A = this chain, B = another copy of it.
């Protein structure tokens, strides 16, 4: 149980243990829904658009009336009337007839296309059409965007700005989403004081509390910083018990010494229904990582080293937060920036290395877009400055023992 897992194995165990754990569903106004996740599919309750509309200023016609029209021999149609924006057309269109129509105007029954203004000329109560119109030309049909009854958004979909647009079109003012997972965040360590305090010699301010809170926020969760607990088993158990009642997930960070790590493992194992599922992952930074459950709720034990804690969050806590709010554990596509490594890098193999890099424009070659170069940030994996100075990171896989200068890499931006 205490063997060191690969990143993938660790992720699979976490995902398996959270199998069906979802937060409650709740109704929220569409105006607050950006970034939230649909709890049920959304079906078009009406056609969008609700009627055929013109996409150009011009004349609504029957296309067959214009077939063969040309500059020299226009089709002459009877001007039947004018369609106004936002109004029903003044009747339907018969053979040989036309109505003027603005962009966005409602097509009259009987018409099937719009001839652009510049190809028409009004001559008294007649319209000369100098170009043939194809059926459906310059119109959007009723339901062409979404037909009544069609699927608009699946369940488990994160709402984007354009989704809010289609919900508006349908008049959906409220929707059911999964609640944001509530995350309780503790820091542990006898050396840790609050960021607002002046540390005494030997003490340092808590870095992880606020930084992890920001990561929770970015991942759609609702963070609650619960403060600092000493590295002592009974205190830790009390803190965990209280927060397991209030939150969906508990993060504890700290306890980087072997003794402190053991205390955290024991504390979790001694909770009611508590169990450490694994600890240790073959990655750097982020090796000291504990995953446990108590009463089905996940407890993540992150390193006291902030860089380590941040990568554990990205790889293990974020997928859990995604799952709990109804998403897949990992997004279907993760955007990146391609760059060329600008130095040789060694890696011991047998673990994944998460290398922080800065990006620089390389020399431009013959007017083409300059390729980017990625430079590893100097400094050990315990230095927060490697994260602060870095633009992003790339991964050296477990089965690779080093990378050569000039290797093409995918950099994931922070």
Instruction: Show the binding face of A for B, using Cβ within 8 Å.
Output: 30-31, 34, 48-51, 53, 55, 57, 84-89, 102-106, 117, 140, 144-146, 152-153, 160-171, 173, 189-192, 195-215, 217-218, 225, 231, 256-260, 304, 306, 310, 332-338, 359, 372, 379-380, 382-385, 387-388, 391-392, 412-414
Whether A384 pairs with B165 at a CB distance below 8 angstroms is yes
> Knowing that A55-B382, A85-B190, A160-B214 are A-B contacts, what are 13 other residue pairs whose CB atoms are under 8 Å apart, sorted by A's residue number?
A50-B204, A51-B202, A85-B189, A86-B189, A87-B202, A161-B214, A161-B218, A164-B213, A165-B210, A168-B195, A168-B205, A171-B196, A171-B197
Q: Which residues of B contact A196 (CB under 8 A)?
A: 171, 173
Q: Which residues of B contact A198 (CB under 8 A)?
A: 171
Q: Which residues of B contact A167 (CB under 8 A)?
A: 195, 210
Once the chains are docked, how many angstroms separate the CA of A414 from the CA of B413? 16
The answer, among B30, B55, B336, B338, for a CB contact under 8 Å with A210, is B30
> Can you pick out 11 interface pairs between chain A and chain B where the beta carbons lie within 8 Å of each other?
A57-B258, A85-B202, A86-B203, A153-B388, A161-B211, A162-B414, A164-B214, A166-B207, A167-B195, A333-B372, A336-B336
Once the chains are docked, how many angstroms separate the CA of A15 from the CA of B106? 39
Once the chains are docked, how many angstroms separate the CA of A155 from the CA of B84? 53
The answer, among B57, B205, B259, B333, for a CB contact under 8 Å with A169, is B205
Q: Which residues of B contact A103 (CB under 8 A)?
A: 256-258, 304
Whether A259 pairs with B102 at a CB distance below 8 angstroms is yes
The answer, among B86, B88, B413, for a CB contact under 8 Å with A333, is B413
Whether B333 pairs with A145 at a CB distance below 8 angstroms is no
The residue on B at minimum CB distance from A259 is B102
Known: A162-B414, A196-B173. A338 touches B337 (CB 8 A): no
The answer, among B53, B165, B304, for a CB contact under 8 Å with A211, is B165
Whether B414 pairs with A257 at a CB distance below 8 angstroms is no
The answer, among B84, B170, B192, B380, for a CB contact under 8 Å with A140, is B380
The answer, among B30, B31, B88, B202, for a CB contact under 8 Å with A86, is B202
Whether B231 pairs with A145 at a CB distance below 8 angstroms is no
Whether A304 pairs with B104 at a CB distance below 8 angstroms is yes
Q: Kindly name the residue among A161, A231, A310 whose own CB sees the greatest number of chain B CB atoms within 10 A.
A: A161
Whether B201 pairs with A106 at a CB distance below 8 angstroms is yes
Min Cβ gap A42→B in Å is 10
Nearest 10 A/B pairs, CB to CB: A86-B191, A165-B211, A335-B335, A162-B387, A161-B214, A102-B257, A85-B190, A168-B195, A86-B190, A88-B201
